[in-house]
Structure 1
Amino acid sequence: FARTVFNEMESPNLASWNTIIAGVASCSNANEAMSLFSEMGDRELIPDGLTVRSLLCACTSPLSLYQGMQIHSYIIKKGFYSNVPVCNAILQHQAGELFRLFSLMLASQTKPDHITFNDVMGACAAMASLEMGTQLHCYIMKTGLALDVFVMNGLMDMYVKCGSLGSARELFNFMEDPDVVSWSSLIVGYAQFGCGEEALKLFRRMRSSGVRPNHVTLVGVLTACSHVGLVEEGLQLYRIMQNEYGIIPTRERRSCVVDLLARAGRVHEAEDFINQMAFDDDIVVWKSLLASCKTHGNVDVGKRAAENILKIDPTNSAALVLLCNIYASSGKWEEVARLMGSMKERGVRKVPGQSWIEIQTKIHASGNDISGN
């Protein structure tokens, strides 16, 4: 019925094409979706991120692998890699292909090795598919690879990225001789999920056990200190990592210091640190500083942070929205109106968010860009 209505439209717009392609994609009809896409091009309509995402979702069958590769090539050619929903769809498509290949491998009686398992665990982690990851863990236990540190680290990383810290800790406790990857993976997991005290306890145990921390450990420790507000301890550990362990501070590690200072409300120190380290072209550190300025209501530093973000990316909607919120919280309504007007003139609009959820081993995506809500 929807197709009949669509065919009767004299001049369907982009929204109409996206709706019909999304409908066809929901039935995994890759051939029809590609046919519509081709017809859309004949009418000189330019596809957007939603069009491309729907086409990828249509190519979920092993029989539509070629069409999926065609769409992937189109994405590369047209520069859609800056579109987050499209990137997520690529990730889902590639992870799905990996799961299917692994199933075919098992069905053909081919024995997977530790590299195979780590690739599949990486896909589980990327899709946050805990149920699939748990099934894989059970299979690994039957193969005799459960004592392989490489495989165990992959499993632990998968559990951490799926948010199952309890399972990750059980695996860690089961390991006879955890290496630096094992320690760091769990420390980072605790830090990322707000268990800063646990992360720091584990780091102290790591040092006392004689395992040398690496750059990943440093990121985890600084994140932990940031989340629990231990600014001075974080700065001290940052210096220890450089002086005692010879870990060279990269942009990522320095951005952790910016976050550490900014979260604690020390936004002026964070701004000085950015300027001293000469990475004022790094959009991530300025975004971190801007977000903290909103939390702590610092208009002046927030304005400078937003200006630096817009120098790097003039169409960055998140920076403008955050700056609007800072002005609004401070009662600067004239500035809010001016900024909103500027956004409208430049055609800048807020990019909608997207969420993923696993229901009965299937990954479902939702968000304004998909549902239109």
Structure 2
Amino acid sequence: MSPFNKIMPKILINQDLSIDESEEVFEYIISGSATEIEIAAFLASLSIKGPCSNELIGAVNSLKPRVINPLESNTDTIDIVGTGGDGLKTYNISTAVAFIVAAAGLYVAKHGNTAVSSKSGASDVLTELGININIDNKILNRCLKEAKICFLFAPNFNKAFKNVAKVRKELSFRTIFNLLGPLLNPVRAKRQLLGVFSDKYLKIIAETLKAHGSKKAWVVNGYDGMDEITLTGNTKVAELANNEIKEFDIDPLKYNFKICSLKSLQGGTPKENAKKMINLFDGEQGSYRNIVILNSAATFLIGDKVKNFEDGIELSKSIIDSGKALDTLNKLKIISNQ
């Protein structure tokens, strides 16, 4: 019997599903038993209501076992990832952060896909930089071991979304699957800097990460809507640490950064964004450098590499200025193409 018969009436009167109900319906969807009409009706209704943490937890319970883990060892990894979909078309910020953090010695399992709302997603800019994103597990493990960073191209590891791909493509709005992608890192990273496209999901995502064993995470959304720590104003943060969630704001002015315009952060094609990243690692000053430093500082805190945000800022600057970030990029390029 289809679980939609009992869960759809609840959703249509704005009642949240339990974890078990959510898990049951996602099991039904990914089994291939659900029709496209059932899937579309469910996703649309859930989007109107708005997913809750129990619904996300149940969905992850169902989907995670079907996401292939390629790691040969149980490495403590960190992911810098966003939902995308903020529509701001910025430079590749989290990808640049990943190289800086890896250059400092943290193990980065960067999970990503092609662009959602920008012209250049993580996989797009990495390909333009000469990094091979379609590699076998042996090379991927070498990347993580030797360069301290690997890129996990979502379609290569997450086969659970295949039964909803057509419906998602035809729907013209964001669904729960936009939130689920960053929660399904194949290597089960236990630390995250995770950006979301709306502040209403900050605590919901943090609660989902807590339920699935994250050690430490920041879930962030800029006041401008950016799924990063922004430089155009303040950023809202839901921090998971010591199994507790607290919320606060990050103000760039507090750390002596100048507020910038959104236009100064907007990128272009993968080729243009790749060139901008190389220029950043070669020492170019400006808003892009500053926003990358802000996000790197937060990532160092999440990875317990520094004791406070100020130390994270200084470490980020030193990694860029010493050339170590560029060295890490080049090392990943070499290994991924062997």
Normalised by the length of structure 2, the TM-score is 0.25
Higher relative contact order (CA 8 A, sep 6+): 2
Query: Which structure: larger Rg?
Result: 1
